[in-house]
Amino acid sequence: MKVSIILGTRPEIIKMSPVIRQLQSRSLDFYIIHTGQHYSYNMDKIFFDQLHLPNPHYNLDVGSGTHGRQTGLMLEKIEDIFIKNTPDIILVQGDTNTVLAAALVASKMGIKIGHIEAGLRSFDRSMPEETNRVITDHLSDYLFAPTEIAKNNLLHEGIDDRSIFVCGNTVVDAVMQNLDISKKDTQILEKYGISKNNYFLITAHRQENVDQKSKLIGIIQGLKMLYEEYGIPILFPAHPRTQKNLHQFGIPIPDGTIMFDPPGYLEFLQLEENAKLILTDSGGVQEESCILGVPTVTLRENTERPETIHIGANMIVGTDPNKIIQGVRTMILQQIKWINPFGDGNAGKRIVDTIIEGKS
Ligand code: UD1
Ligand code: UDP
């Protein structure tokens, strides 16, 4: 059996790493295609280095662009590779344009598709990710749902029960495999002169947030009010999309907020683990904060990770500064007694077991 892994962005590299390790440790025949959707060193190569991943066998250098152009280029280039080097099955993770393109090509060529993190739904079709998830799920042969909630979303859409495998989220595997290393090998708290449980951490990069001036201003105003109320630093490793927009819209960074280029995964895990509270619109960060026992407010109107809300780890607050502050006031008092709902850290193993057994 020949497996093709297709990835292209920061979260895909991180969440696919446990699966790649499993394929390597069992000496299975696989190759990696990197679409080049992310390409800056700190959005891409740093994760291959820190996670000791093999270099991709193909790099398509697609880069940034409009959704249609970016996806179209990927379709063309992935098809060329699949014609020359035809896999029996592809594995994709998540909801990016990379995932959609790879699944579409594989489907048209009759190649089996395994979708890792299947069944997540925000029920908000204005998000590009929601379109990508729904289409990819409906093209897939193996749907690796992280939780029962995700499985039920798929069943409600008429997907065959026999194709769905609840296996946990590989994000747990990645955290468990790297947390101790991150504690030993990084000094990011010292670098920014901050101490454990005495700073906030924020990330924001969603298109529907940071491409809209009013929403981005709302988030930044929330940070200003947060510093006025709590007087502790706010660490803001800013995605390139966000940095570009802050600059273009001429939005200044308020006192108390320390904005910097995104660090690697090991440093970021330490920033998450030691934060008093996390503010984010990221999917992966909502999961990781929940796993690490750090209360979170989500700067969106919905989430495809409702498990985090149900257990009291997370609260949806949107981008209105007053709601952000109210959410922080509530969540900061939250008792951290929840149990991680995303699995036991063996999702990668289950995924590879399943494709080897060819259950679908
Ligand atoms: C993409 C995914 C999103 C995911 C995110 C992870 C889609 C539709 N979106 O969003 O689901 O949460 O990745 O981070 O697939 N840029 C750089 N260097 C890079 C990459 C991007 O400077 O290495 C800048 C470019 O200006 C680019 C912008 O960031 O235009 C957005 O990049 P893009 O990959 O289109 O979308 P993301 O916001 O990263
Ligand atoms: N991450 C990182 N450095 C950062 C911000 C995030 O390594 O500065 C990691 C984080 O630990 C998580 C993943 O990137 O595993 C989340 O990616 P992102 O927020 O870009 O995308 P999403 O999960 O929303 O698709």
> Quick check: is 174 in a domain?
no
| Closest Cα to atom 9 of ligand 1 | 96
Residues 70 and 210 in one domain: no
Supply the range of the domain harboring residue 112: 2-169+343-357
Instruction: Say whether both 121 and 263 belong to one domain.
Output: no
pLDDT digits (tens, 9 = 90+) for 222-263: 999 999 999 999 999 999 999 999 999 999 999 999 999 999
Query: Does residue 5 carry a pLDDT above 80?
Result: yes
Percentage of residues in the chain with pLDDT exceeding 90?
98
Residues 246 and 121 in one domain: no
Q: Is the pTM for the entire model greater than 0.85?
A: yes
205 noted as active-site residue: yes
In a domain, 245, yes or no: yes
3-state secondary structure of 92: strand
* Pair 17, 55 in one domain: yes
Q: Which residue has the tokens 């803001």?
A: 236
296 within some domain: yes
pLDDT in tens, 165-217: 999 999 999 999 999 999 999 999 999 999 999 999 999 999 999 999 999 99
For residue 134, pLDDT beyond 70? yes
* Average pLDDT rounded to a whole number, residues 281-307: 98
Residue 70 in domain? yes
Q: Domain holding 135: CATH number?
A: 3.40.50.2000
113 and 149 fall within a common domain: yes
| Ligand 1, pocket-test mutation among 9, 134, 246, 305, most atoms within 8 A of CB | 9
pLDDT for the residue 331: 98
Q: What is the mean pLDDT of the chain?
A: 97
| Same domain (yes/no): 18, 54 | yes
The pLDDT of residue 335? 87
The side-by-side arrangement of strands in the sheet containing 296-298 is 257-260, 234-237, 200-203, 277-280, 296-298, 314-316
Query: In this structure, is residue 209 part of a structural domain?
Result: yes
Q: State mean pLDDT over 300-321.
A: 98
pLDDT tens for each residue of 286-295: 999 999 999 9
Q: H helices within the chain, ranges in order?
A: 10-25, 45-50, 67-84, 97-108, 128-139, 148-156, 170-185, 188-191, 207-210, 213-230, 240-249, 265-273, 283-292, 306-310, 321-332, 347-357
Kindly state whether residues 94 and 211 are assigned to the same domain: no
- Please check whether residue 337 lies inside any domain of the structure: no
Choice among 205, 239, 247, 310 that is catalytic: 205
Residue 256 Cβ contacting ligand 1 at under 6 Å:
no
